[in-house]
Structure 1
């Protein structure tokens, strides 16, 4: 067999592998991905039927697959069109890089908040969105540093001069530390809500930003958005919320706020 195996065959295998991989990436998160899984199951069953010489089952699956070949392009026309459009624009390469970057940033912040929570060290992170927060970060300590677990922990470490204020993040950059925010004007809050939580609510009342708070008394993470507070988030919930934030540009059909509110509702179901 090695005598008939040429270098062209290796190149051929590599090209086919790359094409299949890219096509699967385009299908991830769509209805068509479920179809692919179903076709794989049918393929496995059909192969077993042939090996075991189950003629009736083989004939039936052959007819089903024949019908599917005609039906698939009709039923999944929107997904196929979107896939070809993205392939033509080269979006698959950019989407892959953006996905990896969103995962890395989300992991850095989640780990930092998880560590601070475990040590019961208070912290307040504000994620800037469409509404600029220049009025707040322009008077704070400017950092313009890359987001990292170590830097976030160092900022909020006890006795650090910056640990009392908030950190403002704009996508992949930490804009400022030691930032002072307006407190909420809501007078119907419980006594357990401290200054950090009131500042988190305050900034989300005057902007579309979201805020993550670590309570040093209870050792829990809370989320403030649109003037509402959700308490005691788990690490995986924080990670999902951050993925929504850093990957917001990848989803054109649903607004960031809609997806965050849906995630919050799912926390308590």
Structure 2
């Protein structure tokens, strides 16, 4: 006899699916995510063994999974604790952060950029968005640090082993430093453009990331998105850009439109990449 699903059953299924989806998002790019993949593989093998009545294999897998579920809370205690902290802060239900927190993060990055600019210290900061950059930072130096002026300035300080390459930020964390980015091969780029600026453009050509570059030669901050570069950003422009980024909810189109609107009033202050000179 076929039992039709009621509205309550459908709602129950949707809630469970949503919870699983949000938990998987919290586990993404962590060691715990690799554990989940391993458990799923073992579960498939176990189902396969029971279907074909492989008694010995089924018994071994059953005992192994039983021990594994006891060991998981011990081995992956840091990851589980962080996931529970994120749930407690509301990250299970939404990815957006409060305006106060976004303002604080924007100010930290802005102060770092202005200081690096004043000292003419070269820097390249990549703001990760919906396109994951794990292929870039997995071979770099992983930090997983809080975003602060001190952290960013110390990374790019001359003589620091991490000052070469880019720093990648993801909302509220500094993911990694000393990241090597793909260089832009756009033939229309000015020949005076250095490797740091070409890398800033290159990563925005293959992803929806945003790049901020501090030139050690000219002492100016440039901004790259979707393969386009603007030079000579002012403090107000940087503040608006960073605030838009930290307030956005991974909506590339809407963020792009908001940035374009914000920069429309500063059009005379920025310089396009095809207008660059030494």
**Smaller-chain TM-score range?**
0.5 to 0.7
Asked whether 1:146 is paired with 2:146, we answer yes
Mapped to 1, the partners of 2:167 and 2:102 lie a distance apart of 19
Kindly report which structure 2 residues correspond to 1:71-150, keeping only aligned pairs within 5 A, or say none.
98-150=98-150
Structure with the greater alpha carbon radius of gyration: 1
Q: Which moved more, 1:108-117 or 1:254-263?
A: 254-263
Residue 261 of structure 2 is matched in structure 1 by 262
Residue 172 of structure 1 is matched in structure 2 by 172
Measured against aligned partners, the alpha-carbon deviations of 1:31-70 in whole angstroms (never above 9, x if no partner) come to xxxxxxxxxxxxxxxxxxxxxxxxxxxxxxxxxxxxxxxx
- Displacement over 4 Å in runs of 4+: none
Contact 2:128 2:210 in 1 (8 A): yes
Residue 191 of structure 1 is matched in structure 2 by 191
Residue 203 of structure 2 is matched in structure 1 by 203
Residue 232 of structure 2 is matched in structure 1 by 232
Determine helix, strand or coil for the equivalent of 1:142.
strand
Mapped to 2, the partners of 1:197 and 1:265 lie a distance apart of 22
Mapped to 2, the partners of 1:265 and 1:97 lie a distance apart of 26
Q: CA deviation at 1:264?
A: 2.7
Asked whether 1:157 is paired with 2:160, we answer no
Mapped to 1, the partners of 2:241 and 2:142 lie a distance apart of 26
Contact 1:168 1:176 in 2 (8 A): yes
Contact 1:103 1:243 in 2 (8 A): yes
Mapped to 1, the partners of 2:192 and 2:218 lie a distance apart of 10
Contact 1:122 1:213 in 2 (8 A): yes
Contact 2:97 2:247 in 1 (8 A): no
Higher helix share: 1
Which runs of 5 or more residues in structure 1 are unaligned? 1-93
Q: CA deviation at 1:191?
A: 2.5
Measured against aligned partners, the alpha-carbon deviations of 1:117-143 in whole angstroms (never above 9, x if no partner) come to 000000000000010000001010000
Determine helix, strand or coil for the equivalent of 2:145.
strand
Measured against aligned partners, the alpha-carbon deviations of 1:66-87 in whole angstroms (never above 9, x if no partner) come to xxxxxxxxxxxxxxxxxxxxxx
Q: CA deviation at 1:97?
A: 6.8
Mapped to 1, the partners of 2:97 and 2:226 lie a distance apart of 30
Mapped to 1, the partners of 2:169 and 2:266 lie a distance apart of 24
Mapped to 1, the partners of 2:191 and 2:159 lie a distance apart of 26
Determine helix, strand or coil for the equivalent of 1:198.
helix
| Matched pairs, number | 174
Which runs of 5 or more residues in structure 2 are unaligned? 1-93, 269-278
Give TM-score, length-normalised by structure 1. Answer: 0.62
Mapped to 2, the partners of 1:125 and 1:183 lie a distance apart of 15
Determine helix, strand or coil for the equivalent of 1:105.
helix
Give TM-score, length-normalised by structure 2. Answer: 0.60
Residue 243 of structure 2 is matched in structure 1 by 243
